[in-house]
């Protein structure tokens, strides 16, 4: 597993934990433990995303800082074997 | 992966309910040239596309179509607010009401439920992009037809925005087609399917 794939997996884990907690919060919107856990996962995910984007390029439109080239449409796209 | 943005791409704010108009506009949700079919078409076709830029184009336009589907639903939803039974009848919305109340169900104006048979995903980028160009024109025609029958400026404004997007998408798909053709044999673009066949050695 490459460093890129390892970082991506850590990001996927942090984001999934945040999202899973978000579903719980949709029906328990004042649960203090869930709110704290969401914040923790979200902060971790934000930090990992910043690192991933700075090293390997944008995950969403607009995260590309360069004014010389639009790297959004570069491959591989996420469904390709080489991207996983 | 997909993530929801809690806003519309363009505002929809309709003061006056109008079930007769809702019955027509719902075609751009579930009809043969509607936004649901458009989103499913491009988001399905992108896997069979060989070139990164065009994979990106299909992803981005397919995603925008999901936002358009949401706008069309917002229009229909606001046009069917607070209706009385006699208004439903007068507006010709009574048959829809029996099946779906005022819930949003993807149907054509003619009442036919949404069908994936309204689009293709062939795994051949030239066939797919030509379908996409035609689809954008057909959707543009549908919006033109809606604009001929809709008087309310609150409805016309977002419909005009959606119509303009069809034209932009047509332009971008034309460029996508050119990008793909530049990578093929200029004497015979159809000599092989870049996704399936191996290029013949020269």
Question: What's the ipTM?
Answer: 0.92
Query: Looking at chain B, which residue has its C-alpha nearest residue A74?
Result: B52
Alpha carbon distance A46, A21 (integer Å): 16
CA distance A31 to chain B (A): 22
What was the pLDDT predicted at B202?
Answer: 53
What was the pLDDT predicted at B189?
Answer: 84
Query: Looking at chain A, which residue has its C-alpha nearest residue B49?
Result: A77
Q: How confident is the model over B160-167, as a mean pLDDT? A: 98
Please indicate whether, in this complex, the C-beta atoms of B57 and A78 are within 8 angstroms of each other. no
- Give the best residue of A73, A75, A78, A84 to mutate against chain B (max B CB count within 10 A): A73
User: What is the residue whose two structure tokens read 């925005």?
Assistant: B161
Alpha carbon distance A40, A30 (integer Å): 16
Residue B22 binned pLDDT confidence (cut-offs 50, 70, 90): very high
Return the structure tokens found at A38: 């969401």
What was the pLDDT predicted at B11?
Answer: 98
CA distance A78 to chain B (A): 9
Backbone torsions φ then ψ of B115, nearest 5 degrees: -135, 135
What was the pLDDT predicted at B201?
Answer: 55
Nearest of B155, B145, B156, B159 to residue B78 by alpha carbon = B155
Backbone torsions φ then ψ of B83, nearest 5 degrees: -85, 145
Residue B184 binned pLDDT confidence (cut-offs 50, 70, 90): confident
Return the structure tokens found at B200: 């013949």
Among A9-13, B102-106, B164-168, B189-193, the least confident range: B189-193
Length of chain B: 202
Residue A73 pLDDT exceeds 80 = yes
Task: Print burial letters for B158-187: b (CB count within 10 Å at least 16), e (below 16).
Answer: bbebbbebbeebbebbeebbebbeeebeee
Residue B186 binned pLDDT confidence (cut-offs 50, 70, 90): confident
Residue B196 binned pLDDT confidence (cut-offs 50, 70, 90): confident
With H, G, I as helix, E, B as strand and everything else as coil, classify residue B113. strand
C-beta contacts of A22-28 below 8 A and 24+ residues apart: none
Among B47-51, B115-119, B181-185, the least confident range: B181-185
Residue B187 pLDDT exceeds 90 = no
CA distance B52 to chain A (A): 5
Q: How confident is the model over B139-145, as a mean pLDDT? A: 98
Tell me what percent of the residues of chain A surpass a pLDDT of 90: 87
- Residues of chain B neighbouring A79 (CB-CB closer than 8 A): 47
Please indicate whether, in this complex, the C-beta atoms of B52 and A74 are within 8 angstroms of each other. yes
- Residues of chain B neighbouring A78 (CB-CB closer than 8 A): 1
Sign of CA dihedral B30, B102, B2, A23: negative
Q: Residue B75: which H helix or E strand, with range? A: helix B52-79
CB distance B75 to B14 below 8 Å: yes
Task: Give tens-digit pLDDT for B58-101.
Answer: 999 999 999 999 999 999 999 999 999 999 999 999 999 999 99
CB distance B195 to B123 below 8 Å: yes
What was the pLDDT predicted at B190?
Answer: 84
């Amino acid at each position: 597993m490459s460093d890129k794939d390892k970082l991506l997996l850590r990001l996927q884990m942090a984001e999934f934990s945040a999202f899973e907690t978000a579903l719980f919060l949709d029906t328990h919107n004042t649960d203090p433990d869930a709110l704290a856990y969401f914040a923790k996962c979200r902060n971790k995910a934000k930090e990992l995303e910043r690192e991933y984007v700075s090293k390997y390029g944008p995950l969403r439109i607009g995260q590309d800082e360069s004014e010389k080239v639009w790297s959004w449409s570069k491959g591989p796209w996420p469904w390709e074997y080489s991207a996983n | 992966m997909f993530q929801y943005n809690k806003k519309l791409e363009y505002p929809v704010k309709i003061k006056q309910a109008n079930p007769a108009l809702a019955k027509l506009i719902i075609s751009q949700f579930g009809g043969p040239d509607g936004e649901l079919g458009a989103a499913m078409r491009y988001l399905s076709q992108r896997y069979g596309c060989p070139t990164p830029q065009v994979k990106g184009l299909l992803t981005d336009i397919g995603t925008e179509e999901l936002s358009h589907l949401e706008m069309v639903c917002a229009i229909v939803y606001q046009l069917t607010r607070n209706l009385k039974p006699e208004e439903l009848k007068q507006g010709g919305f009574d048959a829809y009401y029996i099946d779906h109340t005022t819930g949003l169900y993807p149907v054509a104006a003619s009442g036919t439920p949404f069908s994936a048979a309204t689009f293709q995903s062939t795994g051949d980028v030239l066939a797919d992009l030509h379908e996409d160009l035609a689809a954008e024109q057909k959707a543009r025609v549908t919006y033109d037809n809606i604009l001929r029958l809709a008087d309310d400026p609150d409805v016309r404004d977002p419909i005009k925005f959606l119509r303009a997007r069809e034209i932009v998408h047509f332009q971008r798909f034309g460029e996508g087609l050119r990008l793909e053709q530049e990578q093929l044999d200029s004497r015979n673009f159809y000599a092989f399917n870049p996704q399936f066949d191996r290029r013949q050695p020269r």
